């Protein structure tokens, strides 16, 4: 055996990449020499010196090893190589191992980092650790103060930013003033220095991030917000007393020293004010770059800053900003929001911010007042000092009354006058200011410290321009009210009307009460204009809720296991289940047994049944165990079925029968389940890899038919993660709330019907009629009502704080939304002045009040005749189903019979209302379009108008109490039967019949003499409700096609009056105009020229009283209640509403624009 | 010699997604590779399985959202960029969670997740996923450029801790060749990793 080579020789051998064959003899030596092998092992260990050796020549293939193979060994080798094929990649375990062996960029900076590091300034006494921010003017480093061994933030002003020696001097002197501030709530400046002629600051290092980051758009509890701002105000007062102004207070400039806003104790964080006056555009504020605004975020800038009124900038400027911070802490948003900085600036100068409590109902009014006092446009009206603000906040925290007083609307309006006129000019200034960028520091203000009194020159100016200003104000008020209405933020009505009230109260020459009334009326009847009921005082997040089928209350399951009931009207707690159900995730609640029972299911696997007690409480009746804890749970609205997922196991229980209906093992662990309302389907969602549902055919959502166990086609959506699943009440649709929004599928094909698209949805709920889906949009803090069938007109219900749950009441009239610890209940149907009667799924051409006014009947193109309670809007019954489309509807004067036109069937039908039985049907001699039916006011006659066909019958009804039966006999003094009739009416005395024919020509027939009374006059709109008699039976009113209302005396055959009925909203169009005269003949309701609105006219004066708001559908029929108080309006889209005109009049009168 | 520009598949998933956010294959792979790491992180920070999956989804989505919006600064290392992404995704996640229902049933379970240690740990988990991916790329490339025996020799010696002599015996290679293979592959791997990191940073 040859002698061992020196280790150096071995290393050369390993690193060399020449022909590769070691020198003769070495290979043989190595084959057998354990010592040399040991050396080689050492040399080839990862991390061995070889690693540190200069980089060798890049490897280029493997000629070395090929050459090294001896023929016979190669043969063996190739056998092996097929076993460990070249394509066999390393497994994760081996990669992990390799990761331990190979250095991967850790511990040493990438070369370019090193370059950057080299560019770090070397400042004597400091050691830079890393760069942590870079802005337009400065770079911020995390560094160590070597002498004092403490962390600091080094802020270097970038080269060229402070070019002139004067600026440098000022920077230093101002910096030194700030540096003398020593306050626990102010970030200390340790040193103001120069480095190579560039100034720098050494600041206290604060770890916790800014208030802006910590708050993240989430409202803080009122007390915590007040406490935090109180601390800031004290600190600012301290600074103010030393002549130092901040000028750029905002959440991004408030650093939090410990903890941040975690948990329930945000006050644990010590807020520290940073960036006094100096280098304030540096770093940190992402909004700055996003808006592209050189001035930084304008949200907290006081108007005097925005307007460049540096002479007015003073401590109250900082007070304004403190108010802005308080506002944002309370509501989660700054006082003004806009798309562009310009928009915000305009608002800062022009608009009063909405009181915080409007955004977050339930906030103490006192904080509203404090906030708004800080945010006054006029510095004089703010707190004089930051200390005064701190004191008021302290008073609030102690529960004492605050000193700030709310401003009266009139006061508010006056201040507006002062700031309005100059807006355009001021905006120009703002642009200038924005362009000039960094607009000086705070030295101007130093003068103000010495001289606390500032003259209110604006006041004097306003005096001189009072008249002009008033007119401007008047128009601004009306316009602003209009934009508020058009923006349709929840609860807009109060505010819009407040502005209109100010407009009414203004003494201006060209005031137009009609215009104000029109604008005010346009807000009517919109539930959205009113605030939803908001309940915020829950001890834990609301996880589930259920409407009591008996009405009046909502059951709520909270995250802490509490189950409570609250009255819908007042929000008061009516009951709380005790002992509370076992916690194990939030309980799921549902009413069962018609509302007698409350079912509470928990993830611990218990399903409790609580019985309603007579005295109002609830008693635990029994408990039903699912046998194990579950991960997903769903209970039907009637409490009958319970679906549970536990890992991969899916079970569907019939709770009442206490038996398992369906048992399935899913492909993957179940994250969500849902059972359809009647227990027909059960669906499970999985959330295992592929996590986002993309590939390999793993379904994300699997549905089964409960009765058969049949699996429906699985849904394999892309990018879906399913948060919630809901079935429609008819069990034909399934909605999945997921990452791409809500998606609706049709069962059982699982065909995708539509997707709401856009933003992530956490929760969804079908309306009871299955026509719309309420979708919670997690990122927008709103719930959208999405009529997925038509896809239009999404109503947006705002609910700050990530709304997760949503539910419709059984009637579909209420909707509840839950976000965290707050619940909002929206009434989708009712305003005091308008009831929405929803049920028809197609246009409603006929509507009539019963003679006693207590029932409303409607006939729709959907072939149904429905009866309603006109006071509550609740449907009493779907009274009848027609063969074809419904057209007209009429009550007999005694209220016992109901008649309707079966339009396409060419039939008029009569029912006995009490029994619901059809007692007569007429089709002989009628064309296939029945347009109108009417009973004479004495009940003796019944008329049917069709195209063609006009039939008048004598009605012979069986006496009351007898078997309901009606005989219709031809009335022999009736008009010619081959007339075409669009609309017909009896005169109130029953002696005359008037009709408009197919061409709109009007005829009047004397039923006593059997002769024509007036014929033919007018060119009314054809085939619509176009005629009404006055109570005197002599006069008839109709609308001419030129939109003139004409009144004719049918006896004297003269036109006695006419007025233009073309006023109100909408330009002339081709829409026909429907009309209805109030029973006392004083008011005429007519559809507007646009066809979408309804105008109410005073007949005597021809004056427009009120234009009722336009709606989507075209007005098809109008009906006054017998007392003339209510007006029913039906529309082409199935819309049906009852207006309370008394309420409308009263409300408008209160506003000062009544009639 | 001019370096051949790497094909897209020779880049890390993050890079690929950065250049082509709609690359479906990359997205799938990204989810498969990073998802389990994030989920492991969630579990480690005391989340139940279902919650862990929820959070994983959220983090993945936030990561990719950041990926699109966060401009990569070529002056800094790619790994630093990944850290920044992770940090921001975590901040968003925490902000969301704090905004969302703290009492939705898992308030306590999630608290740990919101600590700074958890954040650092998330960075570690993601960095690990990134490293493994990088190593997989590097090893594949090296593997493709050497003889199967060379690769196996390296694998067995370096990763399975077998002695050179043992491996030589198993593979029927000379001891000299085995050591040479180990040394060579190691060097190639180091170069490859350095190159990849350089490419990533471009």
DSSP string, A583-620: PSSPPEEEEEGGGTEEEEEETTTEEEEEEEPTTS-EEE
Both tokens of A871, joined, read 């006071």
For the stretch A856-859, contacts whose Cβ atoms lie closer than 8 Å and that sit 24 or more positions apart, written own/partner, are A856/A1119, A856/A1128, A856/A1138, A857/A889, A857/A891, A857/A898, A857/A900, A858/A886, A858/A889, A858/A1128, A858/A1130, A858/A1136, A859/A886, A859/A887, A859/A888, A859/A889, A859/A900, A859/A901
List of E strands, A958-1043: 966-970, 983-986, 992-996, 1002-1006, 1011-1017, 1027-1029, 1035-1039
A42-96 tens-digit pLDDT: 788 775 444 333 333 333 333 333 333 333 333 333 333 333 444 577 877 788 8
Q: For residues A1018 and A1036, what is the distance between their CA atoms, to the nearest angstrom?
A: 12
Across the strands, what pairs with A796?
A784
Q: For residues A477 and A469, what is the distance between their CA atoms, to the nearest angstrom?
A: 12
Q: For residue A915, how many other CB atoms are within 10 A of its CB? A: 11
Q: For residues B90 and B104, what is the distance between their CA atoms, to the nearest angstrom?
A: 20
**Which of A268-282, A940-954, B127-141 has the largest mean confidence?**
A940-954
CA nearest A891: which of A929, A936, A931, A838? A936
A838-866 tens-digit pLDDT: 888 888 999 999 999 999 999 999 999 99
Both tokens of A92, joined, read 């994760």
> Has residue A708 got a pLDDT over 70?
yes
Out of A37, A76, A540, the one facing B164 most closely (by C-beta) is A37
Confidence of residue B2 (pLDDT cuts 50, 70, 90): very low
Identify the pLDDT of residue A716. 64
| Burial classification of residue A166, based on how many CB atoms lie within 10 Å of its CB (0-12 exposed, 13-18 middle, 19 or more buried) | exposed
**DSSP 3-state percent helix, strand, coil across chain A (nearest 5):** 25, 30, 45
Q: Would you call B53 and A687 a contact, using CB atoms and an 8 Å cutoff?
A: yes
User: In this structure, what are the phi and psi dihedrals at residue A723, rounded to the nearest 5 degrees?
Assistant: -100, -30
B167-202 tens-digit pLDDT: 888 777 888 888 888 888 888 888 888 877 776 655
Interface ipTM: 0.82
Q: Is-contact A236 A274, C-beta < 8 A? A: no
The 8-class DSSP code of residue A260 comes to -
Name the packing angle between helices A492-505 and A466-487 (round to 10°): 160
Closest chain A residue to B91, measured at CA: A213
Mean pLDDT of A351-366: 82
Q: For residues A935 and A952, what is the distance between their CA atoms, to the nearest angstrom?
A: 10
Q: For residues A828 and A813, what is the distance between their CA atoms, to the nearest angstrom?
A: 5
Window from A68-82, A157-171, A746-760, A965-979 with minimum mean pLDDT:
A68-82
Q: For residues A880 and A890, what is the distance between their CA atoms, to the nearest angstrom?
A: 14
Q: Give A490 to chain B, closest Cα distance, Å.
A: 22
- Which residues of chain B are within 8 Å of residue A688 when distances are taken between CB atoms? 53
Q: Is-contact A327 A319, C-beta < 8 A? A: no
Question: Which residues 679-698 in chain A show a CB within 8 A of chain B?
Answer: 687-692, 694-695
Helix H, strand E, coil C: the string for A917-935 is: CEEEEECCCCCCCEEEEEE
Residues 6+ apart with CB under 8 A from A285: A212, A250, A252, A296, A297
| Residue in B29, B30, B50 to test binding to A, most A beta-carbons within 10 Å | B50
Name the packing angle between helices A409-419 and A466-487 (round to 10°): 110
User: In this structure, what are the phi and psi dihedrals at residue A834, rounded to the nearest 5 degrees?
Assistant: -150, 130
The 8-class DSSP code of residue A1125 comes to S
Identify the pLDDT of residue A909. 94
Residues 6+ apart with CB under 8 A from A721: A687, A691, A692, A693, A700, A738, A739, B54, B57
Q: For residues A873 and A893, what is the distance between their CA atoms, to the nearest angstrom?
A: 23
- Give the helix ranges, DSSP H, for A437-553: 443-450, 457-464, 466-487, 492-505, 513-522
Identify the pLDDT of residue A972. 87
Helix (H) or strand (E) holding A945: strand A941-946
A67 touches chain B (CB under 8 A): no
CA nearest A931: which of A1117, A1120, A688? A1117
| Burial classification of residue A229, based on how many CB atoms lie within 10 Å of its CB (0-12 exposed, 13-18 middle, 19 or more buried) | buried
Q: Would you call B28 and A694 a contact, using CB atoms and an 8 Å cutoff?
A: yes
Confidence of residue A742 (pLDDT cuts 50, 70, 90): confident
Q: Give A424 to chain B, closest Cα distance, Å.
A: 36
> Has residue A971 got a pLDDT over 70?
yes
For the stretch A372-377, contacts whose Cβ atoms lie closer than 8 Å and that sit 24 or more positions apart, written own/partner, are A372/A323, A372/A404, A372/A406, A372/A407, A373/A323, A373/A404, A374/A319, A374/A320, A374/A322, A374/A323, A374/A324, A374/A326, A375/A320, A375/A323, A375/A324, A375/A327, A375/A335, A376/A320, A376/A415, A377/A303, A377/A349, A377/A352, A377/A415, A377/A419
Closest chain B residue to A208, measured at CA: B116
- Which residues of chain B are within 8 Å of residue A50 when distances are taken between CB atoms? 183, 186-187
- Which residues of chain A are within 8 Å of residue B105 when distances are taken between CB atoms? 543, 559, 585-586, 603
Q: Would you call B101 and A55 a contact, using CB atoms and an 8 Å cutoff?
A: no
- Which residues of chain B are within 8 Å of residue A262 when distances are taken between CB atoms? 98, 114
Q: For residues B65 and B71, what is the distance between their CA atoms, to the nearest angstrom?
A: 12
User: In this structure, what are the phi and psi dihedrals at residue A1081, rounded to the nearest 5 degrees?
Assistant: 75, 10
The pTM assigned to this predicted structure is: 0.48
Residues 6+ apart with CB under 8 A from A437: A281, A294, A295
Residue that the structure tokens 């010495």 belong to: A450
Both tokens of A195, joined, read 């480095």
Q: For residues A168 and A550, what is the distance between their CA atoms, to the nearest angstrom?
A: 76
Identify the pLDDT of residue B121. 82
Residues 6+ apart with CB under 8 A from A35: A4
Q: For residues A1083 and A836, what is the distance between their CA atoms, to the nearest angstrom?
A: 22
Helix H, strand E, coil C: the string for B102-116 is: CCCCCHHHHHHHHCH
Out of B111, B179, B189, the one facing A102 most closely (by C-beta) is B189
Strand A1027-1029's sheet: what is its strand order?
A1027-1029, A1035-1039, A1044-1049, A1054-1060
The 8-class DSSP code of residue A267 comes to G
CA nearest A1127: which of A833, A831, A829, A827? A833
User: In this structure, what are the phi and psi dihedrals at residue A566, rounded to the nearest 5 degrees?
Assistant: -130, 145
Taking only Cα atoms into account, the Rg of chain A, rounded to an integer number of angstroms, comes to: 40
User: In this complex, how many residue pairs, one in chain A and one in chain B, have their CB atoms less than 8 Å apart?
Assistant: 266
| Residue in A26, A77, A97, A215 to test binding to B, most B beta-carbons within 10 Å | A77
Confidence of residue B6 (pLDDT cuts 50, 70, 90): very low
Identify the pLDDT of residue B36. 84
A81 touches chain B (CB under 8 A): yes
Both tokens of A352, joined, read 């009063």
- Which residues of chain B are within 8 Å of residue A801 when distances are taken between CB atoms? 99
Confidence of residue B141 (pLDDT cuts 50, 70, 90): confident
Please report, for residues A646, A758, A770, A952, the alpha-carbon distance to residue A728 in angstroms, rounded to integers and kept in the order given: 25, 22, 6, 46
Q: For residues A338 and A1016, what is the distance between their CA atoms, to the nearest angstrom?
A: 61
The 8-class DSSP code of residue A831 comes to B
Confidence of residue A432 (pLDDT cuts 50, 70, 90): very low
A137-171 tens-digit pLDDT: 667 888 888 777 778 888 877 655 554 565 566 56
- Which residues of chain B are within 8 Å of residue A43 when distances are taken between CB atoms? 179, 183
CA nearest A310: which of A366, A395, A379, A221? A379
CA nearest A286: which of B2, B5, B92? B92
Both tokens of A783, joined, read 């719930």
Q: For residues A141 and A132, what is the distance between their CA atoms, to the nearest angstrom?
A: 5
Q: For residues A1105 and B59, what is the distance between their CA atoms, to the nearest angstrom?
A: 59
Q: Would you call A46 and B186 a contact, using CB atoms and an 8 Å cutoff?
A: yes
- Strand bridging mode A1075-1077 / A597-602: unpaired
Taking only Cα atoms into account, the Rg of chain B, rounded to an integer number of angstroms, comes to: 21
Across the strands, what pairs with A542?
A558
Out of A98, A559, A695, the one facing B28 most closely (by C-beta) is A695
A535-594 tens-digit pLDDT: 988 888 898 999 998 878 999 999 888 999 999 888 889 999 988 887 777 899 999 988
B94-114 tens-digit pLDDT: 777 777 655 443 444 566 677
| Residue in A4, A30, A118 to test binding to B, most B beta-carbons within 10 Å | A30
Residues 6+ apart with CB under 8 A from A424: none
């Amino acid at each position: 055996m040859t002698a061992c080579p020196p280790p150096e020789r071995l290393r050369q051998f390993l690193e060399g990449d020449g022909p590769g064959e070691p020198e003769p003899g070495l290979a043989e030596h190595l084959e057998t020499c354990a010592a040399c092998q040991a050396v080689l092992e050492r040399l080839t260990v990862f991390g061995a010196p070889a690693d540190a050796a200069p980089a060798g020549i890049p490897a280029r293939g493997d000629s070395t090893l090929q050459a090294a193979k001896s023929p016979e060994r190669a043969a063996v080798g190739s056998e092996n190589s097929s076993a460990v094929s070249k394509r066999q990649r390393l497994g994760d375990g081996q990669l992990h191992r390799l990761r331990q062996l190979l250095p991967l960029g850790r511990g040493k900076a990438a070369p370019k980092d090193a370059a950057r590091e080299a560019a770090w300034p070397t400042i004597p006494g400091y050691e830079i650790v890393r760069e942590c921010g870079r802005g337009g003017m400065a770079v911020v480093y995390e560094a160590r103060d070597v002498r004092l061994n403490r962390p600091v933030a080094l802020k270097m002003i970038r080269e060229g930013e402070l070019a002139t020696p004067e600026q440098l001097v000022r920077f230093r002197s101002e910096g030194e003033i700030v540096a003398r501030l020593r306050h626990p709530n102010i970030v200390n400046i340790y040193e103001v220095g120069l480095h190579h002629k560039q100034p720098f600051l050494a600041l206290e290092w604060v770890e916790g991030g800014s208030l802006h980051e910590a708050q993240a758009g989430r409202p803080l509890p009122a007390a915590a917000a007040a406490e935090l701002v109180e601390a800031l105000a004290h600190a600012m007062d301290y600074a103010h007393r030393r002549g130092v102004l901040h000028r750029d207070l905002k959440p991004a400039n408030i650093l939090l020293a410990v903890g941040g806003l975690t948990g329930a104790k945000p006050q644990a964080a010590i807020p520290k004010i940073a960036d006094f006056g100096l280098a304030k555009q540096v770093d940190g504020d992402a909004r700055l770059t996003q808006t592209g605004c050189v001035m930084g975020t304008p949200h907290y800038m006081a108007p005097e800053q925005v307007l460049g009124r540096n002479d007015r900038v003073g401590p109250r400027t900082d007070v304004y900003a403190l108010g802005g911070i308080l506002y944002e802490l309370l509501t989660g948003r700054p006082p003004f929001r806009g798309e562009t900085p310009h928009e915000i600036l305009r608002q800062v100068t022009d608009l009063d911010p909405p009181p915080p409590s409007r955004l977050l109902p339930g906030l103490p009014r006192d904080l509203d007042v404090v906030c708004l006092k800080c945010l006054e446009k006029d510095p004089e009206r703010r707190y004089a000092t930051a200390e005064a603000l701190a004191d008021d906040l302290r008073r609030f925290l102690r529960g004492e009354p605050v000193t700030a007083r709310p401003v009266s609307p009139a006061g508010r309006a006056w201040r507006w006058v002062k700031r309005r006129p100059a807006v355009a000019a001021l905006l120009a200034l703002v642009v200038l200011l924005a362009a000039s960028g960094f607009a000086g520091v705070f030295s101007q203000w130093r003068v103000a410290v010495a001289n606390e009194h500032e003259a209110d020159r604006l006041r004097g100016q306003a005096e001189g321009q009072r008249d002009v200003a008033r007119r401007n104000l008047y128009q601004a008020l009306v316009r602003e009210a209009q934009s508020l209405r058009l923006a349709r933020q929840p609860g807009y009505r109060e505010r819009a009307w407040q502005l209109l009230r100010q407009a009414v109260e203004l003494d201006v020459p060209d005031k137009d009460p009609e215009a104000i009334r029109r604008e005010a009326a346009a807000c009517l009847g919109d539930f959205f204009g009113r605030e939803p009921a908001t309940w915020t005082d829950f001890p834990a997040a609301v996880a589930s809720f259920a409407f009591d089928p008996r009405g009046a209350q909502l059951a709520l399951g909270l995250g802490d296991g509490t189950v409570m009931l609250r009255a819908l009207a007042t929000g008061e707690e009516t009951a709380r289940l005790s002992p509370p159900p076992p916690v194990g995730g939030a309980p799921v609640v549902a009413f069962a047994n018609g509302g007698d029972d409350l079912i509470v299911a928990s993830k611990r696997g218990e399903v409790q049944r609580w019985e309603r007690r007579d005295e109002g409480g609830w008693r635990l009746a029994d408990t039903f165990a699912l046998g194990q804890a579950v991960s997903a749970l769903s209970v039907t609205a009637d409490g009958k079925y319970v679906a549970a997922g536990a890992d991969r196991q899916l079970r569907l229980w019939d709770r009442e029968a206490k038996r398992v209906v369906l048992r399935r093992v899913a492909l993957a662990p179940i994250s969500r389940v849902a059972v359809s309302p009647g227990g027909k389907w059960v669906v499970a969602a999985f959330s295992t890899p592929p996590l986002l549902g993309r590939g390999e055919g793993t379904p994300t959502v699997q549905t089964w038919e409960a009765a058969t166990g049949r699996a429906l086609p699985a849904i394999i959506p892309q990018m879906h993660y399913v948060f919630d699943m809901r079935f429609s009440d008819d069990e034909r649709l399934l909605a999945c709330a997921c990452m791409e929004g809500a998606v609706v599928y049709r069962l059982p094909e699982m065909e995708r019907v539509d997707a709401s698209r856009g933003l992530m949805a956490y929760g969804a709920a079908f309306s009871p009629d299955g026509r719309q889906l309420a979708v919670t949009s997690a990122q927008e803090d709103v719930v959208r009502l999405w009529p997925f069938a038509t896809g239009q007109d999404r109503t947006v219900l705002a609910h700050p704080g990530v709304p997760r749950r949503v539910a419709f009441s059984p009637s579909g009239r209420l909707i509840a939304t839950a976000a965290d610890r707050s619940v909002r209940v929206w009434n989708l149907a009712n305003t005091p002045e308008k009831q929405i009667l929803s049920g028809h799924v197609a246009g409603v051409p006929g509507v009539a009040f019963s003679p006693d006014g207590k029932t409303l009947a409607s006939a729709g193109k959907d072939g149904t005749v429905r009866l309603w309670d006109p006071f509550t809007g609740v449907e009493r019954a779907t009274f009848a189903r027609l063969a074809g489309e419904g057209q007209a509807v009429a009550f007999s004067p005694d209220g016992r019979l109901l008649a309707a036109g079966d339009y396409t069937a060419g039939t008029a039908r009569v029912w006995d209302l009490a029994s619901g039985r059809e007692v007569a049907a007429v089709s002989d001699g009628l064309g296939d379009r029945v347009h109108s039916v009417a009973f004479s006011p004495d009940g003796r006659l019944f008329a049917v108008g069709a195209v063609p066909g006009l039939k008048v019958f004598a009605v012979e009804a069986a006496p009351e109490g007898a078997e309901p039966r009606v005989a219709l006999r031809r009335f022999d003094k009736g008009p010619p039967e081959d007339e075409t009739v669009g609309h017909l009416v009896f005169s109130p005395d029953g002696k005359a019949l008037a009709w408009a024919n197919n061409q709109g020509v009007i005829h009047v027939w004397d039923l006593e003499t059997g002769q024509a009374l007036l014929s033919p006059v007018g060119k009314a709109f054809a085939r619509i409700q176009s005629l009404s008699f006055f109570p005197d039976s002599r006069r008839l009113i109709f609308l001419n096609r030129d939109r003139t209302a004409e009144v004719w005396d049918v006896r004297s055959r003269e036109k006695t009056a006419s007025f233009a009925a073309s006023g109100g909203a909408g330009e002339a169009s081709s829409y026909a105009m429907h009309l209805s005269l109030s029973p006392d003949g004083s008011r005429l309701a007519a559809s507007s020229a646009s066809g979408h609105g309804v105008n109410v006219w005073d007949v005597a004066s021809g004056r427009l009283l009120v234009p009722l708001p336009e709606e989507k559908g075209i007005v098809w029929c109008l009906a006054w209640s017998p007392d003339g108080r209510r007006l029913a309006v039906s529309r082409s889209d199935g819309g049906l509403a009852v207006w309370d005109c008394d309420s409308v009049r009263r409300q408008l009168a209160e506003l000062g624009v009544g009639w | 010699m001019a370096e051949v520009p790497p094909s897209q598949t020779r880049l890390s998933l993050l890079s690929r997604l950065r250049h082509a956010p709609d690359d479906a294959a990359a997205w799938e792979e990204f989810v498969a590779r990073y998802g389990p790491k994030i989920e492991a992180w969630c579990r480690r920070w005391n989340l139940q399985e279902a919650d862990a999956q929820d959070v994983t989804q959220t983090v993945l989505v936030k990561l990719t959202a950041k990926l699109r919006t966060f401009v990569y600064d070529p002056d800094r290392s790619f790994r630093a960029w990944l850290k920044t992404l992770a940090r921001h995704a975590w901040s968003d996640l925490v902000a969301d969670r704090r905004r969302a229902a703290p009492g939705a049933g898992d308030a306590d379970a999630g608290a740990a997740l919101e600590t700074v240690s958890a954040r650092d740990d998330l960075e570690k988990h993601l960095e690990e996923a990134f490293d493994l991916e990088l190593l997989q790329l590097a090893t594949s490339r090296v593997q493709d450029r050497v003889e199967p025996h060379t690769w196996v020799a390296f694998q067995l010696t370096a990763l399975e801790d077998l002695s050179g002599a043992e491996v030589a015996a198993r593979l029927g290679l000379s001891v000299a060749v085995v050591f040479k293979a180990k040394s060579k592959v190691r060097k190639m791997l180091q170069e490859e990793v350095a190159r990849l990191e350089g490419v990533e940073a471009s």
